[in-house]
């Protein structure tokens, strides 16, 4: 009889552990993997009138990619930006640090092997930033959002460029 009482007490004591072991853990949402946009890696450039725009993207490492951009017009620096793509809370985030202004974050709504689009509807302009891969050596980038009462879109038709280095 003592054996059955001891067995019953042990079963009652261990029941919560058994129940906890049976309940499956919730599956977190699959995060955007930084490697999905690794196609941005490298140097990109385009020329429009007397302005040239360059973007340089480092390879993915440590769940982030770092990029820089500069615009030179008539031989003078017009704009520059540091960009960090990173995973936060399972989402791909575009963190922009433009020309010494306060940083702004945009969250990916699309991220894949041919296109990535980031959005921040609380920001004035732009509210969306996108990149579309057009083959191995072409990328169409854009920024868009409301400007002076209408939606404005500015496109950057990049071609792969030679990355600057030592002469």
Q: Number of folded domains in the chain?
A: 1
Q: Which residue has the higher pLDDT, 138 or 25?
A: 138
pLDDT of 32: 55
Range of the domain at 151: 34-160
Any domain includes 24 = no
> Positive or negative, the Cα torsion across 130, 87, 81, 159?
negative
**Is 16 within the bounds of a domain?**
no
For the cut 60, the answer to whether the pLDDT of residue 14 exceeds it is no
Is residue 18 one of the residues assigned to a domain? no
Between residues 12 and 55, the one the model is more confident about: 55
Whether omega for the bond prior to residue 126 falls within 30 degrees of 0, making it cis, is: yes
Q: Summarize pLDDT for 107-122 with one digit per residue, the tens.
A: 999 999 999 999 999 9
Give the best-scoring range by mean pLDDT among 4-8, 28-32, 96-100.
96-100
Mean local confidence (pLDDT), 139-159: 96
Whether 140 maps to a domain, the answer reads yes
Q: What is the mean pLDDT of residues 43-59?
A: 97
> Does residue 38 lie in a domain region?
yes
pLDDT tens per residue, range 74-131: 999 999 999 999 999 989 999 999 998 999 999 999 999 999 999 999 999 999 999 9
Residue 79 within any structural domain of the chain: yes
Q: For position 114, which CATH number holds?
A: 2.40.128.20
Name the residue with higher pLDDT: 16 or 88. Answer: 88
């Amino acid at each position: 009889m003592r054996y059955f009482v001891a067995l019953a007490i042990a079963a009652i004591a261990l029941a919560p552990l058994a129940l906890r072991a049976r309940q499956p853990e919730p599956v977190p949402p699959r995060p955007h993997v930084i490697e999905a946009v690794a196609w941005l890696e490298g140097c990109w450039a385009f020329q429009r009138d007397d302005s040239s725009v360059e973007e340089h993207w480092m390879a993915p490492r440590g769940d982030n990619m770092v990029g820089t951009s500069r615009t030179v017009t008539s031989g003078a620096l017009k704009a520059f930006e540091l960009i960090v793509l990173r995973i936060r809370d399972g989402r791909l985030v575009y963190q922009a640090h433009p020309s010494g202004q306060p940083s702004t974050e945009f969250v990916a709504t699309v991220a894949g092997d041919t296109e990535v689009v980031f959005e921040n509807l609380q920001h004035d302009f732009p509210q969306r930033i996108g990149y579309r891969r057009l083959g191995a050596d072409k990328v169409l980038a854009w920024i868009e959002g409301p400007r002076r009462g209408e939606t404005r879109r500015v496109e950057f038709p990049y071609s792969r460029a030679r990355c600057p280095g030592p002469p």
